[in-house]
Every structure is written in C-alpha cells, then in structure tokens.
Amino acid sequence: MQDPIDPVKLDRLAEVAVRVGLNLQPGQDLVLTAPVGALPLVRRIAEHAYKAGAGLVTPILSDDQVTLARYAQARDDSFDAAAGWLFDGMAAAYDKGAARLAIAGGDPMLLSEQDPDKVARANRAMAMAYSGARDRITRFATNWTIVAWPDAAWARLVSPELSAHDAQRRLAEAIFAASRVEDDGAVENWLSHNAELGRRSAWLDGQNFSALQYSGPGTDLTIGLADGHKWVAGATQTTSGILCNPNIPTEEVFTTPHRLRVSGTVCATKPLSHQGTLIENIAVRFEEGRIVEAKATKGEAVLQKVLDTDEGARRLGEVALVPHGSPISQSGMLFYNTLFDENAASHIALGQCYSTCFHGGDKMDTDEVARRGGNASAIHIDWMIGSGQIDIDGISQSGERVPVMRKGEWA
Amino acid sequence: MQDPIDPVKLDRLAEVAVRVGLNLQPGQDLVLTAPVGALPLVRRIAEHAYKAGAGLVTPILSDDQVTLARYAQARDDSFDAAAGWLFDGMAAAYDKGAARLAIAGGDPMLLSEQDPDKVARANRAMAMAYSGARDRITRFATNWTIVAWPDAAWARLVSPELSAHDAQRRLAEAIFAASRVEDDGAVENWLSHNAELGRRSAWLDGQNFSALQYSGPGTDLTIGLADGHKWVAGATQTTSGILCNPNIPTEEVFTTPHRLRVSGTVCATKPLSHQGTLIENIAVRFEEGRIVEAKATKGEAVLQKVLDTDEGARRLGEVALVPHGSPISQSGMLFYNTLFDENAASHIALGQCYSTCFHGGDKMDTDEVARRGGNASAIHIDWMIGSGQIDIDGISQSGERVPVMRKGEWA
Ligand SMILES: [Zn+2]
Ligand SMILES: [Zn+2]
Ligand SMILES: [Zn+2]
Ligand SMILES: [Zn+2]
C-alpha cells in the first residue's frame, strides 16, 4: 500500500520550513515542538536544520494520550498547573539565539468530550506560564515558524467520509498544496510568493488608512486601524535582522486595529474550531472597540468563556486580508486549524496584537503600543469574516473611500 | 501475533515506578524523560502518576534518529552544544518540588560507529549543561527513579540469535522479572523487598566490619572498608523526607571501601561491557589498595586504558553484595546495562566513591571523604565478582571473622 504521505513532498516541506520558514542561521540552536505522531517530519526537519548549520536541535514532543490521561485521572487542582519551567527554559533559549519551529497538527477534537471548565483552566494556566516565551515570539526576538503535519485524527475530522488511509492522504496533499511544496523549486517559489505579498502590504502602507469598512450579508463593520499601524505579510524581520516566514502557509496581509475604534456587526463566514469545540455562525456587535453582544448557533458557551478570559479578549488584535481566490480558499476544505483556515479568508482576531504591526514597533514598550490603540490579552484567536460576498473599503485619513476588495478579491 | 510486551506486566511496572520508585506525593509535578519508543510505558506511567495525585506530568521524549541526523549532518562546532536551557529548566522544576522519572533503554550501540571524538565532546558538553540538575538528583533534593523499557535495538544486542519479536519478548520478560512485577501485588512485594534490604544493611552497619574477605576460584581478596562507612540499599530518603527507590530493579547492599586497604587477587565472574567493548575474564591483583597487575582474555587493551584514566581509576570506590539467588542472577542474561548487570552479582567498582555511603556523608567535603579512605576518580565502573562459589567473611574491628555469604548466599 502506498504511503499516504508522499515522502518527497514531506522532505520539501521540511526544507521550506528550515530555509524559508526559519531562515535558520549557521550556529543557531533550534527548539522544535511537535505532536509525537509528527516524528517523520521532525526527523526530516532535524536533518535539514543540521545541513543548514544548526548548533543543536531539541525536539519537545507532546502526546495526546498523556493529555487524555490527565483529564481521565488527575485530581481537580491539576488543571491549574502548567510547565512553567519548560516555557521559561524556552524563553531562555530564545534569548541565547535559538530559533523556534512548531509543528501543528494534533487531534483538533482531542478535548471535545472533556469538562469545558477544566479545559479552560488548563489553557489559562498554560497561557500564563507561556507568557514569557510568547512575548519573545510576538516581538520577533528570534526567528520562528509553524508548519503542519497531516495527523491521522485531524484527517478523519476533515474527511469523515473517507477511509483512514485516504483521509490522511487527502489532508497531506492539501497541506503540501497550501504550503506550496508540490513542485521542485519550492524554496524559489516561496521567494516570489513573498515578493507578491510584499507588494500588497506596501500599497496598503502607502494608503495609511484610518479605518476599513466591511459590508456583506449580516456584516456592517468599521475597523479603525491603530496609529502608526504597519501592514505585514509573508516574511517578517526579527529584531536581529533575520527574515523569517512565521507561518507556512501564509496568504494574509494583516495589521493592528485600534482597540477602541471598532463598531458595527459582523458574522463569521466559517466555523471556528476552538480547542475541540466547533463554534458555528458567530455573530457579534462592537461598540467603541468592545464586543457588547455575541451569539453563535453552536458552541456559544465556549465563545462566551473565551470572551471572558480578560478585558482584551473582547477587543481586536489583528485585521487580515486574504483574497477569496487564494489556493486554500479554492480547496474548499475546512481544515479546523487556524494556520490554514485563516489563510482561506479575510479575518479578524480577538485578543493580543502584534507590536510588529507598527512602524517602529520593535522599539515600543507595551504602554506605547496601548497608547496607539494596540490591544493586550492572554489570547489571540482568529476567525473568518471573508467570503466572495464581502466588499471592503479603506477610509483615508481625510475621510475618502478607496476600494480595497470587491466580492472578496483585491479591487 | 502476540504483543512481545505483556500489557499487564507493563502496567504493573508503571505502577511500581510511580508508587515505589518515586513514591509520588499528591500535588507533585513529574518530569519524565524517555526514548520515544518507550511511549507505551510513558502513557501507563502518566496514568498512574495522575491516579496518585500528580499535578502535571511532563514527558520529555528523545529520538535516536534525530541524534543520528546530528552526527550525519551537523557542522563540527555542534558537538560542543548542549540543551542547557532544558536541564536548567528541570533543575528549576525540582526546586519547585517536581519528581523525576527516567526511562532507560535506548539503543546501547547507537553511537558505536560515530567519531569517538565527537561523541566524547557531545557527552562532555551534556555533562556540563546537566550539572545543576544532576546535583539535585545526587543530593536527593527530590524523589527520583529509573526504570527500563525493552527497546527493540537493545533486545537485538542481548539476544542476537532470536527474531526481533522473540528478542524483545525475552528482554521484556527479563525486565519484568528483575523489576519484580511478574505477579499481582507488586507494590506490596516491593515494600517487603525494601524491608529485607533494610534488614541486611542494618545488620552490616551494626557489625561495622573493618574489612571483607572474599574466597573462591581465582579469588583471595581482602577489601578494607572506609572509616565511618555506611551500608546503603533499596529505598533512600530525600532531603524533604520522601522515601523513594532510585533504581528499579535494585538488589545490592553497598558501601565505600578504603582506597588504601585492598589486597589480594580477584577474578571477574561476568564479562564487562565497556563503551561497546566486551572485556572478558578480568583478573587483577591489588597491593595497598592499588591494582598492580591486570589481565583479561579479551579487551585487555581497553581495560588498561580504563586503569590509566587517573590515579583513582586503579582503586575501588564501591563494594556491593548481591545474593547469587537474586532474580537477575538467576536469569543468566547479560543485559549490557549497569542498572541490571550490577544487580546480578556481588560487585566492586573502580573509581569514584559515593559520599552518601558514609555516616554523615551529606555534610562531608571531599577532603574529609578522602581522609576516611574514600576514593576519587573521573570514572565509576562496576564489575561482577560474585557467583555461587564465593564465600565472604566480615573481619571485625577486633579481628574476628563473621560469615557474611556462603556459596554466594547470605550466611
Ligand atoms: Zn491572521
Ligand atoms: Zn492571527
Ligand atoms: Zn553497585
Ligand atoms: Zn556502582
């Protein structure tokens, strides 16, 4: 029987992850997190990392069954525990110059049958313990990237109608296509894709819009943009000057909205898969940047819990534009995974903003980011509001309208 | 086909590791290191740890293929790198009360074909980076234990004449027998085994022998014991008062010999596996504590190199008593792994002594240890001198003989 995962494309994905995603520098150490099932990809990445001159590659592998053992057996106060020692160690590694690669692709429904309160507490404890390491990632204090592994359980969720073998094959091929590693010359193809994304972000930066206005079915939304916001796409430069691609794949052009200047209503155009729960048909209303009303036809309790995480969880930290014709959108697949689904459609994110989405953001402290309208939160959750029926106008600083997207495509 | 690893015994091993090895306390976190192949045991241990009230179980899994990718691809200076951030993080976890479980059982021959200089440099870098965490372990600042997983490559080395399936089954059964988990009630059996070991060490301590005298085929040896020596066996108490069993299995009762008061001849009763070389039929002669003559029918050059490591490498750092009827001895297997082989027969060790084998040793500096006869060296190599034909007498401080072992069994 044929391997459901094409070994040639898998090796290309590893090479793209190291050379484009990380742009790993000779002598850099690498901290690599992955679900244990992704071991074949971990091994390919380790090989390409050492070929690129890595110092030491340290894989940190997680196992879904160990996680489930916790939910099945642990006493109640376990759910407030987190591995702070490990995350603080990672932060120390980044400070000493280590790069960071995350392989996404565990079972998205892993915790769907567990007590939501325990899940929420465990996530909160994790988010707090992770804050130091996350801070270095969001500041691009080091080069980092995320790539995906076609996990068997994830594949079953995406294609329940197929056999296990065919489902994994379909997901693997979709990941390879979205990650632009189908053909030879993948590294070079990525460089031209980056250049195209760079042209879009440069145009938007030149416009320096005050706000974006969205209209479409159930959506009439104005998103003010932060003062001195910068549009970012594709490759990002670290504070030490390394150009990395933090997401493989990436199709979005995104910036920081103003946390106080968002108003109107918006409907999600795709379900949001959040830690095992599918939240469907989200509809929210903003006043002065804050979500004052939120509904969903399914998973609403989980959504409300997310919004109650902290004050910043009800405000926006990202606005992103993705053309409806992007390869991931055209695949028609729902991946139940933000890395892919957020590149299938224009989206917004609740929670923490990226200080890199400001001109001169690398030199701003959190007060300065807040003063310019940047949002702060323990969460960052993307959800899709784009489709082939959405029009977006830019509102210039002098109040004029400039078409940005029409029916989901660049105007 | 039958699973080569009996799932019931595997589960018992996990339970013994958590309840006897660690004696895990409610609310304690657990740091668990293992080769990735040991995942079935990792999962059982996580379950028993959570059942015992663990806070958070964090597995750190290593992969032999990633290690080999380093030797195949990494540039030269990679071999001076180590994951200090990870080991320092572990030390921080122990300081906050986390327990430590290591699963042994990678491929013992993994690096046998790699450049010995690179292997030595990588080991040295690792040993230095690990020193903070190791210091907490050797001081028993937290409860810790080691158990073994019947790794496929290890099984092939032990039983090259068998099929992969049968070899793994044989190693698994030998590990289960040695670890005393063959039958129901394994935890209770361990408590009585610990009590038995405790009675032996208490009796030996009460005798406070000046020396032990060994006689048997090719052996006529007197081993003086260090001043204020303490016999140690089975469970050990942490500085915070938790009684843990640092080795699963354990059969030995051991103490510190006097580095200047060993004389006579002794023959090894089993081959010594040293860094990939099998040294057979070792025979040595001691004068005033020092090996002045050493022979082996195979691997003698390696033995001579070991003895030339430093001044302390020719003197003894440990003397350990193991009855010939112990389960590991009765298996007749050579494990190529000290955790097992040193529990198969009475043994002595060349090199470094344990300061824990002195009364009040936790408060002694290295000068005081030396003054009392403790040996110092960069090595600690155990080799087996016990068999069913060895008699051992204790020599009291006033010169009387007391039978300790007859034909390899407690007298
Ligand atoms: Zn985004
Ligand atoms: Zn986002
Ligand atoms: Zn020993
Ligand atoms: Zn020893």
pLDDT tens-digit profile of A156-169? 999 999 999 999 99
Rounded to 5°, the CA angle A30-B102-B123 comes to: 50
Note whether residue B197 is domain-resident: yes
Q: What CA–CA distance (Å, rounded) separates A300 from A411?
A: 35
CA torsion B30-B33-B39-B42 (nearest 10°) is -30
**Which chain B residue shows the shortest CA-CA distance from A90?**
B85
Chain A CB contacts of B63 under 8 Å are 39, 42-43, 59, 61
User: What residues form DSSP beta bridges with A148?
Assistant: A104
d(CA B83, CA A233) in angstroms, rounded, equals: 33
Q: What residues in B contact A81, CB-CB < 8 Å?
A: 29, 55-56
Under-50 pLDDT residues of chain A: none
Which residue in the block uniquely carries the two structure tokens 């000779």? A26
Instruction: Inform me whether the C-beta atom of residue A150 falls under 8 Å from chain B C-beta atoms.
Output: no
User: pTM for the complete prediction?
Assistant: 0.89
pLDDT value of residue B274: 82
Looking at residue A277, its pLDDT comes to 81
% of chain B with per-residue pLDDT over 70: 100
Residues B81 and B195 occupy one common structural domain: no
* Together in a domain, A92 and A145: yes
Tell me the average pLDDT of chain B. Answer: 95
Binding-face residues of B in 29-88 toward A, CB within 8 A: 29, 31, 36, 39, 42-43, 46-47, 50-51, 53-63, 65-66, 69-70, 72-75, 77-78, 81-83, 85-86, 88
Considering the domain boundaries, does residue A109 fall inside one?
Answer: yes
Q: Where in the sequence is the domain holding A283, given as residue range(s)? A: 208-232+250-410
Domain presence at residue A374: yes
Assess whether A226 and A329 both reside in one domain.
Answer: yes
The reply to whether B241 falls in a domain is no
- Which chain B residues touch A26 with a CB distance below 8 Å? 75
Compute mean pLDDT per 10 residues along chain B, 411 residues long, and list them.
91 98 98 98 98 98 97 97 97 98 90 88 90 89 97 95 97 96 96 96 97 96 98 94 96 97 96 84 97 96 92 97 92 89 94 93 91 93 94 97 97 93
Q: What's B118's domain CATH number? A: 3.40.1830.10
Reduced to 3 states (helix: H, G, I; strand: E, B; else coil), residue A400 is coil
Q: Identify all chain A residues contacting B75, using CB atoms and an 8 Å cutoff.
A: 26-27, 50, 53
Residues B157 and B194 in one domain: no
Helix/strand/coil (H/E/C) assignment for every residue in chain B: CCCCCCHHHHHHHHHHHHHHHHCCCCCCCEEEEEEHHHHHHHHHHHHHHHHCCCCCEEEEEECHHHHHHHHHHCCHHHHHCCCHHHHHHHHHHHHCCCEEEEEECCCCCCCCCCCHHHHHHHHHHHHHHCHHHHHHHHCCCCCEEEEECCCHHHHHHHCCCCCHHHHHHHHHHHHHHHCCCCCCCHHHHHHHHHHHHHHHHHHHHHHCCCEEEEEECCEEEEEEECCCECCEECCEECCCCCEECCECCCCCEEECEEEEEEEEEEECCCCEEECCEEEECCEEEEECCEEEEEECCECHHHHHHHHCCCHHHHCEEEEEECCCCCHHHHHCCCCCCHHHHCCCCCEEEEECCCHHHECCHHHCCHHHHHHCCCCCCCCEEEEECCCCCCEEEEECCCCCEEEEEECCEEC
| Predicted pLDDT at A77 | 95
Q: In this predicted structure, what is the pLDDT of residue B184?
A: 94
Asked if residue A265 and residue A163 are part of one domain, the reply reads: no
Using CB atoms within 10 Å of the CB of residue A403, give its burial: 0 to 12 exposed, 13 to 18 middle, 19+ buried: exposed
- What distance in angstroms lies between residue B365's CA and the mean position of ligand 3's atoms? 22
Per-residue model confidence (pLDDT) at position A108 = 82
Same domain membership, residue A149 and residue A56: yes
Has residue B126 been placed in a domain? yes
The answer to whether the Cβ–Cβ distance between A81 and B47 falls below 8 Å is no
Say yes or no: B327 and B192 in one domain: yes
B147 and B104 within one domain: yes
Task: Judge contact between A63 and A35, C-beta under 8 A.
Answer: yes
Examine residue B245 and state whether it is found in any structural domain, yes or no.
no
* Cα angle A17-A231-A16, degrees, rounded to a multiple of 5: 10
Chain A residue with CA closest to B97: the answer is A85
Q: Where are the beta strands (DSSP E) in A269-336?
A: 272-274, 277-279, 283-287, 290-295, 316-321
Q: What is the pLDDT of residue A362?
A: 78
Q: Domain tally for chain B?
A: 2
**Side by side, which strands form the sheet with B347-351?**
B232-233, B253-255, B316-321, B347-351, B380-384
| Shared-domain flag, residues B320 and B281 | yes
Residues B294 and B358 in one domain: yes
Q: Which of B158, B179, B200 is the last residue of a domain?
A: B179
Last residue of a domain, one of A178, A197, A217: A178
Residues B205 and B142 in one domain: no
Q: A194 in a domain, yes or no?
A: no
* Residue B4: both structure tokens together: 């080569």
Domain assignment of residue A114, yes or no: yes
Asked if A46 contacts A12 with a C-beta cutoff of 8 angstroms, the reply is no
β strands within A119-171, DSSP E: 144-148
Same domain? B121 vs B170: yes
